[in-house]
Amino acid sequence: MSGASQPSPLPVNDPVSNYEKLHRIGEGTYGVVYKARDRTTGEVVALKRVRFDRSRDGVPVTSIRELRVLQACRHPNIVGLKKVVTGSQADSVFLVFEYCEHDLGRLLDTLAGARRGFSMSEVKCLMRQLLEAVAFLHDHWVVHRDIKLSNLLYTHTGHLKLCDFGLARYFAPFVTPMTPNVVTLWYRAPEVLLGSEEYDESIDMWSCGAVLAELVAGEPLFPATSEGECLNMMAALLGAPNERIWPGMSSLPNASKFVFPEQPYNFLRRQLPQLSERGLHLLNCLLTYDPDRRITARQALRHEFFQEKPYPKQPADMPTFPSSHDTSRTGAGAQPRHHHHHHHAG
């Protein structure tokens, strides 16, 4: 290594053979994730193998970006990157993350099957943790770009941790067009659906609104399978956007391809009767068409919704759930009760 190269704040000298792979948890956006145990400490971790597709000079650009972001982002509500380890082949690299038992997507499905969801004080606890993570990212000029329930991991101590920074991008220095095809459709902001290439961190706030609605209702707010269907669902539920409420909308790349129905009414109250007036107000502030008028994460944290009864639970008082082997794509795998269960492939 040349003396000029920057010292890495993460140790890279460890071989991956120091970890015993327990089972495959799933596919992250950019790589396979395993549950593993550190042979020296016995600690259970999530191992994410870094993919080397479409790399420049043998280094995967997305993964390097993810590493830079994760190194900068140390926060109790963000999945911590412990270290980077090398595989047997020269080109294989593994990221070692803290291990979380569940993801909220799968957890909500399980609860729905049991005909229960999160209580309002639990929803507030989860939303507050999500907004803390997002505010921290935005303070550090990072847009997550893929906030969705399955990227929200949940620990047995009641803590929410935001993961999968594969798409995160520093937003301050960039004037280059960003890639429009980011974020799972259900959580995608309208300006992204309309092809905007100059979006900013406010796209994460729309996603937070979709998460809030889903935690309250137990099902996604806009479960669309195409961009057009998603925009139609938004118009049907929130009222159709126009230049008056969203200046500049008509000049977005896909605006001419899409004709909104005449629909001036907002039906969120009918759709989510569980929400108080203040809860509904916060949701409308998050699901605001005009990105410039959308609430910020810091503003949302100060919203009266979090200061009224029922008050947010403390993480320590949050429910715990039995671990299952029905593991998710994100790294929120199962914690087997006994070590001899680790033959499961996940």
Secondary structure class of 154 (helix, strand, coil): strand
Q: Which of 146, 164, 200, 204 is catalytic?
A: 146
* Nearest partner of 211 among 230, 180, 189, judged by Cα: 189
* Nearest partner of 260 among 193, 180, 206, judged by Cα: 193
DSSP β-bridge partners for residue 46: 35, 97
Give every CB contact of residue 64 below 8 A, 6+ residues apart in sequence: none
d(CA 92, CA 63): 12
Secondary structure class of 172 (helix, strand, coil): coil
Q: Is 309 annotated as a binding residue?
A: no
Q: Are 23 and 345 in contact (CB under 8 A)?
A: yes
DSSP β-bridge partners for residue 160: 154
* Unique residue bearing structure tokens 């889903």: 214
Sign of CA dihedral 291, 138, 214, 148: positive
Give every CB contact of residue 142 below 8 A, 6+ residues apart in sequence: 69, 72, 73, 165, 168, 169, 170, 171
Backbone dihedral angles phi then psi of residue 281, each to the nearest 5 degrees: -60, -45
Give every CB contact of residue 298 below 8 A, 6+ residues apart in sequence: 135, 138, 139
Q: Do β-strands 81-86 and 93-98 pair in parallel, antiparallel, or remain unpaired? A: antiparallel
Backbone dihedral angles phi then psi of residue 179, each to the nearest 5 degrees: -75, 125
The answer to whether 200 is a known catalytic residue is no
> Which residues participate in the annotated binding site for ATP?
48
What residues are labeled active site?
146
Binding-site positions read 48
